[in-house]
Amino acid sequence: GLNRPIDGGYCGDLLSDVMANAPQRCIWLTVQGHQNVVAIAVLKEMAAIVITGGHKPDPETVEKAGVEGIPILAWEGSAYDLAGRMYAAGVRNSDG
């Protein structure tokens, strides 16, 4: 749930890219709201998924995230803005 360790962040909407490049235990910013995002978050042991840009997750996605214990949040603003805020708050990847 909400007590997962956070080891950085990742912005991406191309699922194959996220699977290949997102760090484990990150907060993932995406506009994708379908169930596949939960499967990737589980695979990468992500801290949370944030659906950005005013997009909303599908109800099935919210249900699956709950079953898997992955927090799924929504942000009305852009991923770019949220990434900047996260960085300013000290959320950094191990590479920088």
Tens of pLDDT, residues 16-54 = 999 999 999 999 999 999 999 999 999 999 999 999 999
Number of folded domains that form the chain: 1
- Domain of 13: which CATH number? 3.40.1390.20
Residue 19 forms part of a structural domain: yes
Residue 76 forms part of a structural domain: yes
Residues 6+ apart with CB under 8 A from 50: 27, 28, 29, 30, 72, 73, 74, 75, 82
Domain region containing 26:
9-88
Q: What percent of the chain has pLDDT over 90?
A: 90
The pLDDT value recorded for residue 96 is 56
| pLDDT mean over 54-73 | 97
